[in-house]
Amino acid sequence: MPWSRGVRGLVMACLAALPLAAPAQSGAWRPLAKDGVHDPRSPAIGVLQEPGQALSQLPPDTAGNYVKWVEALEKGVISPRTSIKPETQIRLREDVIVVSKFGSMPAVSFPHRQHTLWLDCANCHEQPFVSKAGANRLSMQKILDGEQCGLCHGAVAFPLTECNRCHNTSNAALQRARQGDAKR
Amino acid sequence: MRSAEALVAAALVAATVLLAAGPAQAEYGDVVLNRRSEANGVRPVVFPHWFHRIRFRCKVCHSELGFTMRAGANDVKMDDITQGRFCGMCHNGTVAWGPDRCDLCHSGLPGLKSGIVGGHGTSGPGKW
């Protein structure tokens, strides 16, 4: 079956190329002159930093800017300023809130730490979220419409295709923990 | 059997080509500001989130400088910038280039609509 072997070879070649293709994608930042928003005739082209030049140096990701921004921060690859006014108080919070329990998707665990590394409390509280665990009615539809978490996720923070980065907590495990609590 | 294999092969080739093609357009998180730019004879502004977040955390602009986290919700005028508000907090010729370097910010293609652009296939929430 010579023809079939040829096809099989092609399939194998593609399978081998797929993992290569994915990182190639992560390295494929458009040059500013070809990104569809910058005017190629603008004098800024050649002066402004190219995304590929900066972003290729940071921990790679598979979506968004193709950069793991939190990891870049934690590893010290970047050290963005936390404030610009001397009087600004830097506020960090470390707790994790588990929300959206026992639905059809794994529960969401929201880590305050990663969020407060970038953001101030006032960016989320009391709008769009009140400062009380369990008091916020979250809606995936609203998020997809650019409200709630969707103010950032899907715009600047990792996009909404990455379901399991937020929906990462097993409901069964939560259920077991709850039953364990009840027994005690 | 052979046609099935050929179909699989064709699908894989297509998938490989598509994946290798990479992101379609502007960088994820780029914001176009054109409420007033073109009406005043300059190119639209392209604001790159990626460039700024390497150097500043979100909270600097979105808390200290007062930028609301919604593209289009910030009605920034050149007067604000020259007086040190909003972009002018840094774009003052000291921290970053000053407002006399019009072309460096006003670098967008004529005719662009204001809003957040670039990025992932499903990044298009209706409100943006």
Tens digits of residue pLDDT in B76-112: 999 999 999 999 999 999 999 999 999 999 999 999 9
Residue with tokens 């960088």: B27
Q: What are phi and psi of B94, to 5 degrees?
A: -110, -65
Whether B96 maps to a domain, the answer reads yes
Whether B91 maps to a domain, the answer reads yes
Minimal-distance CA residue of chain A relative to B7: A7
Whether B75 maps to a domain, the answer reads yes
User: What rounded mean pLDDT belongs to chain B?
Assistant: 82
CATH number at residue A92: 3.90.10.10
Question: Which residues does A123 contact at the CB level (< 8 Å), separation at least 6?
Answer: B58, B59, B62, B63, B69
Q: What are the pLDDT digits (tens) for A123-136?
A: 999 999 999 999 99
Whether A13 maps to a domain, the answer reads no
Residues in chain A, pLDDT under 70: 1-27, 184
pTM (two decimals): 0.81
Whether B11 maps to a domain, the answer reads no
End-to-end CA distance of chain B: 48
**What are the C-alpha distances in Å from A9 to residues A4, A5, A18, B11, B12?**
9, 6, 14, 14, 12
Whether A95 maps to a domain, the answer reads yes
Q: What is the pLDDT of residue B22?
A: 38
Q: What is the pLDDT of residue B39?
A: 96
Residues of chain A in contact with residue B20, where contact means CB-CB under 8 angstroms, are 17, 21, 24-25
Q: What is the pLDDT of residue A7?
A: 53
Residues of chain B in contact with residue A10, where contact means CB-CB under 8 angstroms, are 9, 12-13
Whether B48 maps to a domain, the answer reads yes
Q: What is the pLDDT of residue B24?
A: 39
Whether A158 maps to a domain, the answer reads yes
* Contact call for A82 and B57, based on CB within 8 A: yes
pLDDT band at B56 (very low <50, low <70, confident <90, very high): very high
Q: Is B100 on the interface with A (CB under 8 A)?
A: no
Whether A85 maps to a domain, the answer reads yes
Expressed as residue numbers, the domain containing B80 is 24-117
Q: What is the pLDDT of residue A3?
A: 47
Whether A124 maps to a domain, the answer reads yes
CATH number at residue B104: 3.90.10.10
Q: What is the pLDDT of residue B123?
A: 47
Q: What is the pLDDT of residue B71?
A: 82
Minimal-distance CA residue of chain B relative to A9: B9
A30-34: long-range pairs with CB below 8 Å, 24+: A30/B22, A30/B23, A30/B25, A30/B26, A30/B27, A32/B107
Q: How many domains does chain A have?
A: 1
Q: What is the pLDDT of residue A11?
A: 45
pLDDT > 90 fraction of chain B, expressed in percent and rounded: 64
Whether A31 maps to a domain, the answer reads no
Q: What is the pLDDT of residue B2?
A: 57
Q: What are the pLDDT digits (tens) for B3-17?
A: 666 555 555 444 444
Q: Is A125 on the interface with B (CB under 8 A)?
A: no
Residues of chain A in contact with residue B70, where contact means CB-CB under 8 angstroms, are 146, 151
Q: What is the pLDDT of residue B102?
A: 97
Q: What is the pLDDT of residue B127?
A: 46
Q: How many domains does chain B have?
A: 1
A87: tokens are 């009087």
Whether B17 maps to a domain, the answer reads no
Expressed as residue numbers, the domain containing A111 is 54-183
Whether B98 maps to a domain, the answer reads yes
ipTM above threshold 0.85: no
Whether B9 maps to a domain, the answer reads no
Strand-pairing partners, residue B56, are A81
Q: What is the pLDDT of residue B116?
A: 87
Q: Is A130 on the interface with B (CB under 8 A)?
A: no
Comparing B124 with B27, the larger pLDDT belongs to B27
Q: What is the pLDDT of residue B118?
A: 67
